[in-house]
Amino acid sequence: MEKIPHLDHHHHHHYHHREQPVPTKRNGRDFPSDDGDYQSGFGNSFESEAISGALPRGQNSPLLCPYGLYAEQLSGSSFTSPRKLNQRSWFYRIKPSVTHEPFKPRIPSNEKLASEFDKTNSRTTPTQLRWKPMEIPDSPTDFVDGLYTVCGAGSSFLRHGFAIHMYTANKSMDNCAFCNADGDFLIVPQKGRLWITTECGKLQVTPGEIVVLPQGFRFAVDLPDGPSRGYACEIFGTHFQLPDLGPIGGNGLAAPRDFLVPKAWFEEASRPGYTIIQKFGGELFTAKQDFSPFNVVAWHGNYVPYKYDLKKFCPYNTVLFDHSDPSINTVLTAPTDKPGVALLDFVIFPSRWVVAEHTFRPPYYHRNCMSEFMGLIYGGYEAKADGFIPGAASLHSCMTPHGPDTKTYEATIARGNDAGPYKITDTMAFMFESCLIPRICSWAVESPLLDADYYQCWLGLKSHFSHEADVKSNSV
């Protein structure tokens, strides 16, 4: 019987165990590690203060704020967006963000970033594409320099579209913060924890968790485990929300209470030469200031960074026959104006029981009006026996056929109907799915990591057709 994808024990510990514990400090303060160090909820209006009484009461912008702080609003939506879509937060900070020197183009720039996609920087192909994992560089590389765009569609200037990035890094950001003016980041670490300091407070994000950093937030990424790798998608002009559950009812999939938001934390010390790196139109700019942007003593609002542990996802599955559409595994969705059509869905394929009778259980063969980018955090993926390993990526664009490889198909058929229920264990694959057709960055098409032999995994699929009456057919 074919081995169901899983992570062997030696490999498993790679994600949950470090030989040398690293002290959980940034600038002398602990990083939160357990759920008790966060606020919880999705779409809530939160408030948090690092010093009691720092939040003004009864109004947002008093003439004099408590403790001599400045009030500053960060808007994540237009002022007149419908209330259920309106996102903004108020910060009470030691100095306002505006106190900086003019922005200048960053040198060196990062030539592998894009936020609008056309023939000047990207190509198009309907061929199925797969990339091998990127090696983590030996030279010192932080999150900003290690970020690179694989594909995308639309334009950050026009506020509609998305970009899919990956990152490899090995050093913490030093005396600088990153601010993405183009869109929201959803980051999926695959190797190495991220310690992320934001204006709302601090987040520890472990492989198997995701973090969303909304447009405009300043943040810094520390790498306590050193070598680090992962995936990121970026959406322009909208924000993620929880999918509607329809007939599932009020519970299941990702629960609002499992989304975690930081508590207020600030640093007061002078920081000469501190650099704000702004991603604006896909280009990087820098501005110098003499203080940390993480000087927010108190804040309130519903525009916040947050994290989510994918192990807390409650999967639903077919319990009698056929294979559920992957939409049943949607964690977060970024909607378009068309009902039910996503600018970007974030979908996972977690450990779960597989029980369908008389059914081809792996994903079905498919041609899709949506485009699908897949990654693997750990373990194996049920539709690909070989070649798709943790840190790898694949892209099956609009109307490009895809499905299980030959080895998976033959092994599934050979098992027959007596396979019985079994559990897919120790695996976490994911998909970014979009209604827009992605263009692929030129460097990614030319990359030596592009698997030129990917198509061969289907070449062995042979005809089983026979004109004889099929006595073996086992439809319900």
Residues at the annotated binding site for homogentisate?
Answer: 381, 402
Which helix (H) or strand (E) segment is 446 a member of?
A: helix 442-446
Q: Which residue numbers belong to the known binding site?
A: 366, 372, 381, 402
Residue 29 is encoded by which pair of tokens?
A: 């303060």
CB 232 within 8 A of CB 112: no
Pairing of the two strands 176-180 and 270-280: parallel
Closest Cα partner for 307 from 334, 326, 331, 328?
Answer: 331
350 preceded by a cis bond (ω within 30 of 0) = no
Q: Which residue numbers belong to the known binding site for Fe cation?
A: 366, 372, 402
State the CB neighbour count (10 A cutoff) for residue 339: 7
Distance set, CA 16 to CA 10, 72, 132, 207 (Å): 11, 39, 23, 9
Number of residues that this document lists for the chain: 476
State the CB neighbour count (10 A cutoff) for residue 250: 5
CB 405 within 8 A of CB 458: yes
Q: Return the sign of the alpha-carbon dihedral for residues 138, 139, 142, 147.
A: negative
Q: Which of 6, 12, 323, 358 is catalytic?
A: 323
Among this protein's residues, is 323 annotated catalytic? yes
Distance set, CA 5 to CA 92, 157, 246, 350 (Å): 49, 42, 31, 11
CB 358 within 8 A of CB 321: yes
β-bridge mates for residue 350, sequence order: 428
Burial class (CB in 10 A: 0-12, 13-18, 19+), 80: exposed
User: 454 — phi, psi (to 5°)?
Assistant: -55, -45
Q: Which residue type sits at 121?
A: N
454: helix, strand or coil:
helix
CB 214 within 8 A of CB 76: yes
The alpha-carbon radius of gyration of the chain (Å, integer) is 23
Spatial distance between the Cα atoms of 458 and 461, rounded to a whole number of angstroms: 6
CB 423 within 8 A of CB 353: yes
Active site residues: 323
